[in-house]
A and B are shown apart, each in its own frame.
Chain A
Amino acid sequence: MVATDVQTPATPPSVEKEVWDEKRAARKDTREGWLFCAPYLVLFAVFVIFPAVWGLWISLHRYDFTLPDKPFIGLDNYTGLIDGSSPWSAVFWESIRNTLLFTVLSVPLLLVVPLAIAMVLNQKFAGRNLFRAIYFAPYVLGVAVIAVLWRYLLDANVGLINYYLGRAIPWLTDVPQAWVSLVGVTVWWTLGFNCAIYLAALQDVPRSLYEAAAMDGASWWQKFRTVTLPGIRSVLVFIVSTTIIASMNMFGQSFLMTQGGPGNETRTAIMQISDTGLRQFDSGMGSAMSMIFMFFLVVISGSVFWLTNRDSDAQAKVRKAKAEARAQA
């Protein structure tokens, strides 16, 4: 075992030279790269890194900027939230639970439905561009517009939807109906964005691959699995990550359509954090909530990244092995 481990890194001289060249190129590029990135990095440092670190510091205080006393209280904000002794604890964890529930309900739909629509819109048919525009249209509307629109459509007593259904379904004032409404409206509103990205990716999949697959007698499902999905893989990873993050950050829909209700059942984490930090000026507690929420975001985004990256590492190895085999031959 030891012997093979030592032997593995041994590579032919030609490859060694190539690696050295890359290194030199990389070293030379660094300075220019930093230069080009500098304007953004300055903004990033001032408006993202610095506030994040400062937020961490604030979360260790009972911090209200309007009051003269901002005592350092160590981890009290965190322990109060975690052991339930803070009056905000229960509602905060309920908001985290609601956010995760919304994410679990909305992300699969936001991945699958736009892909299906994009595949249809990728076919050649009359009025294709019109349909592409129609599916994208809701996305250009602001959240305030779509929320007010749907609030009236979905109203239990004066809404158009119940009028046509001839029933009095409490779309916004009871669960699980409120979740159906919120997820449904969100999918209707944002699917156009994912759809447009899918469509761009689908158009990049070489037609020759489909032709080759067809000649090999591949079924529709086989073509989808072996040509379409691998072809849009990198875009898929991007959509998965951005959709999860967008869903975790849901705020406007429930703020405007259900006001977090019934009770606190559709109150999301961002809603709770902004309420605590910006309305009650309890910046210390609000920052502590943000940090805990960030922990969830990091864990989830990290696992998505890790899962997909591990996969692409494996593929890279396969590619490298094939390239080496070709070089040997």
Chain B
Amino acid sequence: MSTRTHRHPRIATAAAACALLLGPAGCASTALSEDTGPPLGSDGYTGPPVTLQYWNGFTGGDGPYMRAMVDEFNAAHDNIQVESNTLGWTDFYQRIVAAVHAGQGPDVAVMQLDNLATQAARSVIVPVEDAIEQMGFSPSDFPQTLVEATTFNGHAWGVPLDSHTIASYANTDQLNAAGVAAQAGTGAAFESELAAVQQSGVAEPFWMPNKWPAHLMFLSLLWQGGGEPYSADGLTATYNSPAGVEALSWMVDQVKRGVSPTNVAIDSQYLAFKNAETTVTWDGIWQINDLRTTAPDLKWSLAPIPKVFASPASWANSHQFVMLSQREPDADKQQAGKTFIKWMVEHSSEWAAAGMIPAYEPARSSPEFTNMPQSALSGQIENFHYMPSIPGVGDVNVQTLELAVSEAVLGRQTPQQALDQQAARADDILASNAEKFGATNQG
């Protein structure tokens, strides 16, 4: 008793400092769970009422649709209450990594496919191939390329919710005025389409951005030409291959030919499209709802991006349900989490309204999806290309590939120079990442 009353403030300070010091050390020593817990029965979760924490990054036009689905799920399940926590994707990854390692992670979350390998290497998520089987899904329920892309180190790390790709938006009034009936399917046809639109009075019909989504355009064209951004072992950047140089040169040529103005800053091309200053823009299909609400009078059509090189291809990503590593796994919550994911995937036709392409095959044949503009891309789903499963690849893209695309589009370097210079840096970063994550094999 007396020690407590005479406690010196200095000791309290020291104790606080120790707690701070030991906190992170403690994190490392306590093991995180590595599976999704006991198997899920065929009738779903039947235990006592539980509340699930569900994190996602749907802050945009997709948010309301996700909320509606969660509300519906909650109404249909007496013993499971799902609480959503929605925060922008950039913050989302920073926080979820820290939360999981502090033992405070959510039960379920949605992550983007190109982050799965990184999060797996950071022990944030657990393999779900067993869970997928328990939910009654088989690989044939999802597009083949997507299932392959979900695999890393021999495990599946996510349950696919959707695919989203970039596509070609065109102002139909301007196309009609130029006498173009439908969007072009090949590079040559695209060139004459733009020429026709220029003739009819739109001086610069295809603005070429130097930032987002410029690198998605580049990746699509690279894959069309048969190139790959990174080697299969994840140790070498290969986007400076001849296919890469051709792809980037094609983008730069749009500026040189005067189809695009120079120095198109971030978002300008999209603003110009909304204001009918330009005819065609390539952007993510998730912009559909934004265009509908912020430019309601604009008439536009959506088509796959044209096949400029040898084979059709476009960059894509996917939202995936993941289960998080837990410090103290709770079997009830794990079962309820799997029940939630199963229900959400089975009802993913509703998710089409958010501008996405449901990954679940039966959902793609539902009228909710076939009535949406992006259903025009559904036939291309096997031509979608996803980022390879390399831990840390997202940052390598940001630090090197995006920079090369930007430098070339702004005309500060030739495509060859820009790609070579950044690919060399990427090799160094990939080597350092491989050493850091200790795993170099791709699944």
Contacts and interface: CB of A to CB of B under 8 A. Distances in A.
Interface of A: 38, 42, 45-46, 50, 54, 62, 64-70, 86-87, 90-91, 151, 155-158, 168, 170, 172-174, 259, 261-264, 278-282
Nearest to B399: A91
A46 B261 contact: no
7 contacts: A42-B13, A65-B27, A66-B124, A87-B432, A156-B263, A157-B207, A174-B410
Given A157-B263, A157-B265, A263-B412, A65 B16 contact: no
A65 B211 contact: no
A54 B21 contact: yes
Contact of A278 (B16, B94, B399): B94
B17 interface: yes
B263 A261 contact: no
B432 A66 contact: no
B263 A68 contact: no
B189 interface: no
A156 B272 CA distance: 12
B252 to A, nearest CB: 14
B436 interface: yes
Nearest to B424: A87
A67 B437 contact: yes
B438 A69 contact: yes
Interface in B381-412: 392, 395, 399, 403, 406-407, 410, 412
Given A64-B436, A158-B277, A259-B266, A279 B94 contact: yes
Interface centre among A45, A173, A259, A282 (most CB of B within 10 A): A173
Contact of A157 (B9, B94, B261, B432): B261
B101 interface: yes
Contacts of B123: 66, 68
Closest 8 CB pairs of A and B: A87-B428, A66-B122, A170-B263, A156-B263, A173-B263, A87-B429, A280-B395, A157-B261
B75 interface: no
A66 B17 CA distance: 22
Nearest to B432: A87
B117 to A, nearest CB: 13
Nearest to B101: A66
B271 A65 contact: no
B27 A168 contact: no
A50 B407 contact: no
A262 B94 CA distance: 26
Given A87-B432, A262-B406, A168 B9 contact: no
Contacts of A54: 20-21
A155 B271 CA distance: 11
A170 B255 CA distance: 15
Contact of B20 (A46, A67, A91, A262): A46
Contact of A261 (B24, B272, B406, B436): B406
Nearest to A38: B9
A38 B412 CA distance: 56
A66 to B, nearest CB: 4
B262 interface: yes
Contact of B271 (A50, A68, A158): A158
B28 interface: yes
Contact of A262 (B21, B122, B392, B410): B410
B210 interface: yes
Given A46-B13, A67-B122, A259-B211, A174 B263 contact: yes
Nearest to A156: B263
A64 B432 CA distance: 13
B97 interface: yes
Interface in B422-443: 425, 428-429, 432, 436-438
A151 B266 CA distance: 9
A90 B421 CA distance: 12
Contacts of A64: 122, 436
A279 B395 contact: yes
Contact of B407 (A91, A151, A157, A262): A262
A279 B89 CA distance: 12
Contacts of B207: 157
B372 interface: no
A261 B418 CA distance: 14
B273 to A, nearest CB: 11
Given A66-B101, A66-B122, A87-B429, A156 B403 contact: no
A90 B429 CA distance: 12
Contacts of B407: 262-263
B9 A42 contact: yes
Contacts of B432: 86-87
B425 A87 contact: yes
Contacts of B21: 54
B28 A68 contact: yes
Contacts of B261: 156-157, 168
Contacts of A281: 97, 122
Contacts of A67: 121-122, 436-437
Given A87-B425, A262-B410, A280-B392, A156 B265 contact: yes
A50 B392 contact: no
A174 B265 CA distance: 10
A299 to B, nearest CB: 29
